[in-house]
Amino acid sequence: MRAPALILAVTALLAAACAPADQATPTPTRVDGVACTKDKLATLTPGKITFGTDQPVYQPWFVDDDPTNGKGFESAVAYAVAEELGYAKTDVVWTRVPFNAAIQPGKKSYDADINEFSITDERRQAVDFSAPYYDVDQVLITLKSSKAASVKTLAEVKKVKIGAQVGTTSFEAAKRLSPEQDVAVYNTNDDAKAALRAGQIDALVVDLPTAFYITSAELDDGQIVGQVPGGDGRPEQFGIVLDKGSPLTGCVSNAVESLRSKGTLAKLEQEWLSSAGNAPELK
């Protein structure tokens, strides 16, 4: 066992030595026998890391629908993860991947996809998830003029017509409220907002940071009703999506964990999601 160990140590040293000087020292970690450094990672383009995300992308996760500016929580996390793996800012490439394309079984056009993907056991059958980078709460929002504005309890919520975006855990949360009328399902939160303005739904479930952005910046008389109770007691978490069985998963997870222990994640949350305080919980 000594010879392979020696080889590994030497390659790790070489990897460290090869890294450009103008960046943070790469962590010479290895996960599942893979060295987590730029020149050893089997990315699509050697020496570059390709992140995928949808188009359009929204505040506060991205700013100005431009993932490359490093602004917005998820863009910042992506660049932090890349740096942790030894990539310079210029080594990060972005590609636009619609939801369905991100999870199809064929060849992927990205190394890692960051797009508010909630981690579930069921979804793990189809893709790999990194360690979670954000714990998310689901909240109900409405217009001040709507009858949902005065709702305080879970029993009152059942009388309200609720909408949500398809394919989101917000939709699952809306169903958990078991409203009397079917949950209306929209392609995007933009469509759902149109339906809210038109009075076709009384309230809309979105995640907390999105809720703060929508109610403060997008709707003139928007209001947060309250927090939707969680499903099975476990917090809902966002993870970076990677191809099923991707050799990068361990390293990306490792990078996320390292960012958490260094306090970088908390700092980025503070910077981009700081307005996301707490919403009263519906009981």
Partner 1 sequence: MTVSDLQRERLAYKRSRARRSTVVALLSTVAFAAVAYATVTGAPGWPRVRDSFFNVGVAWRTLPGVLEGLWLNLRVLLVCGVLILVLALGVAALRTLRGPVWFPVRALATAYVDLFRGMPLILTLYLVGFGLPALRLTGVPNDYVVLGGAALVLTYTAYVAEVFRAGIESVHPSQVAAARSLGLGPRRTLRLVVLPQAVRRVLPALLNDFVALQKDCGLISVLGAVDAVRAAQIEQARTFNFTPYVLAGLLFVLLAVPSARFADAMARRAERREGRR
Q: Which residues bind partner 1 (CB under 8 A)?
A: 99-100, 103-106, 120, 122-123, 125-127, 163, 166-168, 171-172, 182, 184-187, 191-192, 194-195, 197-201, 244
Quick check: helix, strand or coil at residue 189?
helix
Interatomic CA distance for residues 178 and 154, integer angstroms: 9
- Between 158 and 244, whose beta carbon lies closer to partner 1? 244
Find the shortest distance in angstroms from Cβ 228 to partner 1.
17
CB of 203 to partner 1, least distance (A): 13
Q: Which of 169, 253 has the CB closer to partner 1?
A: 169
Alpha carbon distance 95, 87 (integer Å): 17
CA distance 187 to 162: 15
Q: Which is nearer to partner 1, 176 or 244 (CB)?
A: 244
Which residues, other chains included, contact 281 with Cβ-Cβ below 8 Å and sequence gap of 6+? 226, 227, 229
Give the shortest CB-240-to-partner 1 separation in angstroms.
15
- In the complex with partner 1, the residue whose CB is nearer, 200 or 216, is 200
With respect to partner 1, which residue has the nearer C-beta, 81 or 127?
127
CA 158, CA 232: separation in Å to the nearest integer?
20
**Coil, strand or helix at 37:** coil
Q: In angstroms, what is the minimal distance from the CB of 96 to partner 1?
A: 19
**Other Cβ atoms closer than 10 A to 195:** 15
The secondary structure element, H or E, covering residue 241 is: strand 241-242
Element spanning 99, H or E: helix 99-103
